[in-house]
Structure formats: C-alpha cells, structure tokens
Structure 1
C-alpha cells in the first residue's frame, strides 16, 4: 500500500483534518477486525433526521451589521448523528457559505494529499518502536507493510480511527461530512480554510528525532488505554456541548504532557487559529454569511476561535 493508496482509504474514515484534537488511544486485545460501518443511505439519513438534536458547540459572531457562525465539530460520529439539531439547522438557514478546515468532498483535496504524501521523506525509526507499531497495525487489521510506506504520524491516526470503530464511531459519520453534503444539497458555497500543505506541515514531524518521539508517545497512549479513554471523554463532552470542559481540555485530558505533545498541540491548534480567524473575517467583511465548522478543540480557551474573533471586534454569543 503506497502513500497515495493509503490516503484514499484513510480519507474515507477521516474528514481532511480529522486528526486535529484527537490523540492515539489503546489497541484492544482483540483479534477481530473493527466492524465496517454501514454504507450511507437515504433511510439512514431519514432515521437520523427523526431524532435530530443539537450536539457540539455553536456561536453566533456578529460585526458590521450581520452575523456569521462558528461550529465546533467532531471528526468522527455515529449514524444517528447525521442530522442538524434545531440551532444548527437555523445557522445553516441563516448562512450562504460553509467553511471547513478542508472540504472532504472536494476531489482536488484527495489528489493533492496523495501527491504531497508521496513526496514525504521517510523517517528513520527505532526498531523497537517499529515492532510495536507493527503489532498495533496487525491488531487493528491494517497492512503491516504500511509502516515502511506511510508516515508514522498518520498511521497512529489511522490506528486511532480503527479503534474508534470498535466503539461505534466512524469518520464517515463525522460532522464535516454531513455538513458538506447538506450544504451542497442547499446550494451553499463550500470552501476550505486551509491548504493540504498547511495541514501536513502541522501534522507531520519536522525531522527524524521528532518522528521517533511522536511514534513513542503515540504507542504509549495506544498500549496504555489512556488515549481511548480521552477520546471517549472528548466524544461525551462534544455530545453534551459541555463548553466548560472544552475550555479546560488541556487541564484534564492528560494528553499534553510530554514536550512533543505540547509542541504538537501548539502546531495543531495555536499556530493555525489566527490564520483561520483571518480567513473567516475576510469572508464576513466581504458580505458573506459564514458557517465556519472546524474541530471543537479549535474553539477552546483564550486562544480558541471565539476568543480570537472577539479580539478582532466581533460580538460573540454562545448558542444552546
């Protein structure tokens, strides 16, 4: 499996930047492969619509006489979540542009990602860590040979997603996918706030030493069971819209402990939020009514998008 093929498979489970805010979690001591999700169907969408309710985090942001919206997403989900609750539905009706980190339905994104990954340098990894990675790939029914062909950072994310499927969560049911489908069905403009190059710069190690440490940290999380617990806590926080826990995420998740984890959090969130805020602001000032839907951890605390836009002069209103 080469990098391009891996990305095409990986993209079906991850929505562009579904890695953001999710650390790796433990591999279960099971020999069975994670269950395959049911294919999307009209019946599935209709069933979700009948029980639709609000989940996640929603804000109205107002400036210059009109409003846009911020929505904190979850990059994995359950089939019952494939519908907008009343507040999110109203935000969709009130806007004309959906802005995502990367549009999961844009075919150019998949092509660009495959091309970029094919050019990614191969990192020198320690044999012990490579053997541990191989065992995790085997447990989660991923090709062991992919350890020689795909960056370890992405393999850790793929392992995490496969493990999430054991808890009934899947990338095709994540927020971005159903929002991208709904927006297109309504004739809304769909844009990406970032580029493939920018995302990979945030996701991938800068050198061999970083790659080795990211792999070791990720494997420790996978093997200890802690990361699965963190993910399920994150899912619960998102499902209930618990903004207090969102704003204190780094204090309780125990996933920003090592120097490398702190550097990764800075790259994945803090360094990207100002640029995304400027993109949202530019569209809003041009007259667009924007629903910006990005990973929920981008909304967290004083460096989150609501706080950044507030400092840019926006009135921020948290919606139920």
Structure 2
C-alpha cells in the first residue's frame, strides 16, 4: 500500500480537486504565465496573464491586437472580433479583473488560427501561426496519443466513455480525432466534477471546513513526529516554510505536496483532458453534468481513517522525488492507449481495502448508475463522459459494471 502507485492514484484520479481553492495558497505560488506570439513576448500595459483554476486567462483586447486581430465588442459570454478581415463571434466565459476583460488564451488562439502550446519550464503560453510553426513546435503538437474511449449505444442514445488524465501537458495534444468528432456531436458533457468552478466561494469554504482543523489542534498533533519532521524537510526542499501546512489535515497535505511536485515537472490541471473538454463545452454552450460533487470528493478524503491519511502522506513524502517519474508512467500508458497496462496499473491499487473501496469501487458504482440513467432516458441524445482512466477497467470498473447491466461496450 505504501508505494508510489497509490500516491499516483490520488494524484491522477482526483487531481484538480484543490485547484484554485484556498489550500494551495499556503504553498509557493508559481509565477504568473507569460504569452508569446510568434516568438514575441506580449507586453501588457493594462493587466497581465493569470492562471485561474488551471486556465490561463489573458487581457482580451491586448492579446487580440498581438495576434493582428481587432476587438469590436465583448459582453456576457460573447466576443465580437475582426480576424483576418472577417467578423467573428466567439463564445467564452469572460472575466473582469480590475476593470480589464479577460478570456481564456486557448479560445482566442484557436479562433485566430494559432497553434497553442505550453512551455512548463518558462511558464509561457506559446502562440504560433500554423503556417509559421517550426519543426519543434509541429513535433509537440502532433504527438498527442491514442488515449482511452469506449462507446455504448442503447434506446436511441449514445454514450462515449473517455478516460482522462486530470493533469497533463501539451504533449497530449492534439487529441485523437475520434475524441473531437464524438465531442462535436455531443449534447452533454459529463465529468466527475466541474473543476472550472473549484475557486468559487462555496468550494473554497468546503475545503476550509473539511480540510482544516477546527478544534485548535494542528497537523503535528495528529501524525507522528517522524512523519511531521519528514514533511517539513520536503516542504523546505520545495521552497515552502516547514510549517506551511500545519492548519490542514494529512489528506490536504498529501494532495498539495503531490500537486506541487507534478507542476514543477510540467503536468498541470490547465492541460488536463477533462478541463480541455470543459472549456470546449463552455464555448459550445452545452450542459456540463457532474457525475459526482465537489463535496463528495472532498468528503471521501476527509473520511479516510487517521491511519490511512498518515500512510498516504508518508508515501507522498517518501516518493516526492519520484512523483514526476510516476506521472510519466501514467502519461505513457494514456498516450499509448494500452488497455492491458491500464488494467495492470488499476489492479495494483487494490493493496489497501479501505483506500481501494473508496477511491474506485464505490465511486465506480455511482458513476455507472448515472450513465445507466443516461442510456435509458430514450431522448436520442449523445453523452460525452470524461472521468479518470483508472475508473474504467477491471472487475470493479465502469466498463464491467455496464456490461453487467446488459450493455455492449465497444472500445474505440
């Protein structure tokens, strides 16, 4: 149980859970992103790019001007612009910060015909016109991967089941064309939770209510002195004060620690498969349905026994230097779309009964039941479901649960 694979499961099945919430504020805040258009850094006179819940938001007017486009008007969730001499209407959630209107950079770049990539080392969003993209850029944007997708049809309805990596990097893109084609026809997007809402006031309050001690005690009162000392050393190694997480419970410390390390390796929720499709759903204005809730996911971690919480935290501490390598393993499995390797990885998580039941077994049952409901409603609709890849295979996986309900599940 105390190995990198279990720590990896926490990271890749519920990564993004604390994205944008109050907890990461105790950690060393990464520098805000920069933007380059055809190798020229965009100089912003009013406002600057910000990372919001894993999405890079940029000042709308200045970014369009840097791409030789002109903003005509922006209101609500609609942008009117002149791109290549043509009037274009874009749909995207707009944010006003200190009087400056911001929009997701990927939405703007895609609309203006740019390749959009992310340089994790320099924390720079790179926009290159498709005709001007160099060889190295083309290599990054054509690598992508097969990924995991299954199709289920019943009663006139179609459900696509997509396996996500909640944290990723630009090497995952472009996605398999079958993903994009299926999503283009979807009437609904289904995700575990809509992590684009993770930073709202209600979500932050949930983290504080569940993840912080309310009785005057601190983390060192609830874990061994040895574990606490090791945590302090790792936090200092990460450039954070040794007592930075004292207010929080072990499960919060574990998740924050793992997210810190994976981000330095270039894996971020901003490039995650589920957030990618959430942003696209917002652009298309199709409903986003949550198969779980923010409260249920937080509650699952919070309800782990004291012993399991400390064991998971200790595993994250002892494997801190290997976290990026561990995510590399999952990333390669995802890109290759290798069902056998995914099944082996999923089965390897069963070492601790409490952990396995909460993280996979119980959640899979709940999600499979909701998918069953979508298939039975007889509305002749298409559902595009994106949940962590490890939820699908194995004796307790969503695919088997749907097959047990009588459905034919086809690997795509």
Query: What TM-score comes out, normalization by structure 1 length?
Result: 0.79
Q: Distance in 2 between matches of 1:115 and 1:71?
A: 31
User: CA 1:43–1:105 in 2, change beyond 3 Å: closer, same or farther?
Assistant: farther
Q: Which ranges of 4 or more aligned residues in structure 1 deviate by more than 4 Å? A: 7-11, 41-50
Cα displacement (A) at 1:232:
1.9
Residue 12 of structure 1 corresponds to 53
Q: Distance in 2 between matches of 1:274 and 1:112?
A: 27
Residue 236 of structure 1 corresponds to 332
Identify the range of structure 1 (46-55 vs 56-65) with the bigger mean alpha-carbon deviation.
46-55
Identify the range of structure 1 (201-210 vs 306-315) with the bigger mean alpha-carbon deviation.
201-210
Q: Distance in 1 between matches of 2:24 and 2:402?
A: 33
Identify the range of structure 1 (129-138 vs 284-293) with the bigger mean alpha-carbon deviation.
284-293
Q: Which one has a larger percent strand, Structure 1 or Structure 2?
A: 2
Q: Distance in 1 between matches of 2:240 and 2:122?
A: 13
User: CA 1:307–1:8 in 2, change beyond 3 Å: closer, same or farther?
Assistant: farther
Cα displacement (A) at 1:78:
1.1
Q: Distance in 2 between matches of 1:174 and 1:310?
A: 28
Residue 277 of structure 2 corresponds to 179
Residue 20 of structure 1 corresponds to none
User: CA 1:146–1:280 in 2, change beyond 3 Å: closer, same or farther?
Assistant: farther
How do 1:158-169 residues align onto structure 2 when only pairs under 5 Å count?
A: 158-169=256-267
Residue 156 of structure 1 corresponds to 254
Q: Which one has a larger percent helix, Structure 1 or Structure 2?
A: 1
Residue 383 of structure 2 corresponds to 290
Q: Distance in 1 between matches of 2:26 and 2:334?
A: 26
* RMSD (Å), alpha carbons: 3.1
Q: Does 1:68 align with 2:85?
A: no
Residue 286 of structure 2 corresponds to 188
Higher relative CO (CA 8 A, sep ≥ 6), structure 1 or 2? 1
Residue 38 of structure 1 corresponds to 124
Please say if residues 147 and 337 of structure 2, whose CA atoms lie closer than 8 Å, have aligned partners that are also in contact.
yes
Q: Match of 2:310, SS?
A: helix
User: CA 1:310–1:143 in 2, change beyond 3 Å: closer, same or farther?
Assistant: farther
Q: Does 1:219 align with 2:287?
A: no
Q: Distance in 1 between matches of 2:264 and 2:393?
A: 27
How do 1:251-262 residues align onto structure 2 when only pairs under 5 Å count?
A: 251=347, 256-257=350-351, 259=352, 262=353
Residue 30 of structure 1 corresponds to none
Residue 228 of structure 2 corresponds to 130
Q: Match of 2:124, SS?
A: coil
User: CA 1:44–1:300 in 2, change beyond 3 Å: closer, same or farther?
Assistant: farther
User: CA 1:307–1:163 in 2, change beyond 3 Å: closer, same or farther?
Assistant: same
User: CA 1:245–1:144 in 2, change beyond 3 Å: closer, same or farther?
Assistant: same
Q: Match of 1:290, SS?
A: strand
Q: Distance in 2 between matches of 1:234 and 1:89?
A: 22
User: CA 1:132–1:293 in 2, change beyond 3 Å: closer, same or farther?
Assistant: same
Q: Does 1:112 align with 2:202?
A: yes
Q: Match of 1:179, SS?
A: helix
Please say if residues 134 and 147 of structure 1, whose CA atoms lie closer than 8 Å, have aligned partners that are also in contact.
no
Q: What's the CA shift string for 1:33-87, capped at 9, x where partnerless?
A: x946334x76599978963744320001111133110000001111243543211
Q: How many residues align?
A: 289
Q: Distance in 2 between matches of 1:54 and 1:183?
A: 21
Q: Match of 2:244, SS?
A: helix
Q: Distance in 1 between matches of 2:303 and 2:316?
A: 13
Residue 397 of structure 2 corresponds to 304
Highest CA radius of gyration, 1 or 2?
A: 2
Query: What TM-score comes out, normalization by structure 2 length?
Result: 0.62
Q: Distance in 1 between matches of 2:398 and 2:122?
A: 35
User: CA 1:163–1:4 in 2, change beyond 3 Å: closer, same or farther?
Assistant: closer
Q: Match of 2:319, SS?
A: helix
Q: Match of 1:313, SS?
A: coil
Q: Distance in 1 between matches of 2:376 and 2:191?
A: 18
Q: Distance in 2 between matches of 1:125 and 1:143?
A: 18
